[in-house]
Structure 1
Amino acid sequence: MSSLSAWIVGQEGTEAGRELALALALFAAFTHALFGALQKGRHDPWMSRAAIDLSYGIMAAPVALFLVPWPEPHMWLIFAIVWVIHVGYKLSQAAAYTAGAYTVVYPVVRGSGPIFTVIGAYLLFGEIFTPLQWLGIAVLTSGIFGLAAYNLRHVTLDRHRLPMALGLAVLTGGFVALYTTYDAYGIRATADPFTFLAWFFFIDGFFMPIYVWLTRRSRPLPPLGPLAARGIAGAVVAFASFGAILLATRLDKVGEAAVLRETSTVFAALIGWLLLGERVGPRRLALMALIAAGAVIVELGG
């Protein structure tokens, strides 16, 4: 792993590194949409998230403790702040998925994040977007919110809960911007990027299982076999998704990687159609094309 770390660090600031960051951000978009669908699927979203977190915490433990270099002393405060941010994100996300339909909640979560992330990247890393890239952000976010509005119009189940679901979705989007920016700071603060990734998953993996056990233990448990399978699958997807986007933010601009990841909304709509039985008509296809066009403009504008 040390040789892979050295290779990745060697790509920082190069054209090859920029191209790798682009590929990683798009891969993160697909896997993040898949991760959201796994959490929103047949099981209670709280139980699903707890199973996923417990799985990746256990899987990351031996890597963090025995395979990667230990974190430098200054990293422990960073990990503490990262943990608090992700706790807020996961609580708001699970609550949003409980309150509203996946195809309504997910686009709002993703659409409310990019602008705040770009602003945070400017304040923390001094990144500046060109006017053409700002146009791309406007195109992408208009497509995302247009998709959310279209989905909202056609939702017939639990419409009385939609205002609360949308409010929770916006709150979750704020946490997305916060963790994207601060996680990028964290992975840049250590010499070995895999040290941050392994310890992040190890530290992050045990809050939700404990929280769910304390707050929902009076409820009947779902079948443990399917829940465990979902947890393991979600853990693998989480490693791929969060690992890819964090490496992308180390290799290139945080803001660009964050915006490109929001093409996950396109993948989420396709997953909703193919796996969850939700309809995708010509209007939604046009809005998804708008999201993709915005991402292309952002990339070309850089």
Structure 2
Amino acid sequence: MGVLVAVLGAAVLHAVWNAVAHAVPDRAGGFALLALSSGVCGSVAVAVTGLPPAHAWPYIIASVLLHLAYYGGLLASYQLGQFSQVYPLARGTSPWVVAVVAIVVLHQRPVPLELAGVLLISAGLIGLVLVGGRPSRRQAPALLAAFGTGLMIAAYTVVDGVAVHKIDLATYIGWVFMLQGFIVPLLVLWWRGPGFLRQDRSAMYAGLGGGLVSLAAYGLVLWAQTRGTLASIAALRETSIIFGAIIGALFFGERFGPKRALAGSVVVAGIVLINLA
């Protein structure tokens, strides 16, 4: 039950920081501030934990590179599409990809109820993308960007899920967030110049606060991965999409409606099955 509560709490926090990132008018600048905030927190952890062992570096470097690709894909998705459409596709792609990798490559065998829950959650999340009808050709770039983002999520989930069983959790979180947290602003600075720092006060606070929320959310997920199977944790984490759809309806004026409620019910059924497994 503790793992379930932790991952669902992380899902709420994850939806909040994604909504914050979507709401900042200058999204590239918002991502840079968000990453900088989490990078500062990561550097505090690094100051306490010190250098990681030599065997940790391949995992840390791989995770940082995958997270950078994820940020780029997420930014492109938000620039091209609606929050309530691209966010579910990006997050809904991940659980079934992680489940396949966990079973085929890592030889983790979820029990039937757990696997059924993972599949239900994935189906409900993908259903959220389709509630508005068949996507048009104009939406294709946003959907492709979101799908690619989902593959990056699956990749870093697998890398991190293996790493936390071999490396001290605080050390791993600290180094990953410190490195990506300082690289992202440098990339935005190279791309945009120093103009992204000239945000209004509310956007500045939102970006910096979103970084703290992001760090807390992923810290909870990594802790849960030390105690549960990778596929079920990945699926439970992506219930953030339900919270994201609610946020989209309440704050961005995006429709929720009965079809979204039905897709959300499918996700809840998946959560119940995983909890019963």
TM-score when normalising by structure 1 = 0.85
**In structure 2, C-alpha distance between the alignment counterparts of 1:296 and 1:197, rounded to whole Å:** 29
Q: CA RMSD in A?
A: 2.0
| Aligned twin of 1:188 | 165
| Aligned twin of 2:187 | 211
| Aligned twin of 1:91 | 72
CA contact (8 A) 2:24 2:203 kept: no
CA contact (8 A) 1:150 1:284 kept: yes
**In structure 1, C-alpha distance between the alignment counterparts of 2:172 and 2:45, rounded to whole Å:** 11
Q: Structure 1 residue 138: deviation in Å? A: 2.9
SS at match of 1:74: helix
| Aligned twin of 1:226 | 202
**In structure 1, C-alpha distance between the alignment counterparts of 2:133 and 2:72, rounded to whole Å:** 23
**In structure 2, C-alpha distance between the alignment counterparts of 1:164 and 1:215, rounded to whole Å:** 21
| Aligned twin of 1:46 | 28
Residue 154 (structure 2) pairs with residue 177 (structure 1): yes
- 2:159 partner amino acid: Y
- 1:52 partner amino acid: L
Residue 261 (structure 2) pairs with residue 285 (structure 1): yes
What are structure 1's unaligned runs of at least 5 residues? 1-18
- 1:233 partner amino acid: G
CA contact (8 A) 1:109 1:169 kept: yes
- 1:209 partner amino acid: P
TM-score when normalising by structure 2 = 0.92
- 2:243 corresponds, among 257, 267, 274, to 267
Question: Which range moves more in the overlay, 68-77 or 260-269?
Answer: 68-77
- 2:85 partner amino acid: V
Q: Which digits, 9 at most, give the CA deviation of each residue in 1:62-116, with x for residues without a partner?
A: 2212x22531121122211111111111111111111111001011011111111
Q: Structure 1 residue 20: deviation in Å? A: 2.1
- 1:142 partner amino acid: A
Runs of 4 or more consecutive aligned structure 1 residues displaced over 4 Å after TM superposition = 218-222
SS at match of 2:252: coil
Identity %: 30
- 1:127 corresponds, among 83, 99, 108, to 108
| Aligned twin of 1:27 | 9
SS at match of 1:126: coil
CA contact (8 A) 2:11 2:240 kept: yes
| Aligned twin of 1:257 | 233
Question: Which range moves more in the overlay, 256-265 or 40-49?
Answer: 40-49
Q: Which digits, 9 at most, give the CA deviation of each residue in 1:39-83, with x for residues without a partner?
A: 111323222111100111123212212x22531121122211111
Alignment of 1:230-249 (within 5 A): 230-249=206-225
Flag the 1:295–1:213 CA change in 2: closer, same or farther, 3 A.
Answer: same
Count of residue pairs brought into register by the alignment: 277
**In structure 2, C-alpha distance between the alignment counterparts of 1:223 and 1:244, rounded to whole Å:** 30
- 2:11 partner amino acid: A
Flag the 1:127–1:220 CA change in 2: closer, same or farther, 3 A.
Answer: closer
| Aligned twin of 1:113 | 94
What are structure 2's unaligned runs of at least 5 residues? none
CA contact (8 A) 1:114 1:137 kept: yes
Q: Structure 1 residue 200: deviation in Å? A: 1.5
CA contact (8 A) 1:105 1:166 kept: yes
CA contact (8 A) 1:105 1:148 kept: yes
Q: Structure 1 residue 124: deviation in Å? A: 4.8
- 1:236 partner amino acid: L
**In structure 1, C-alpha distance between the alignment counterparts of 2:110 and 2:248, rounded to whole Å:** 32
- 2:178 corresponds, among 202, 212, 228, to 202
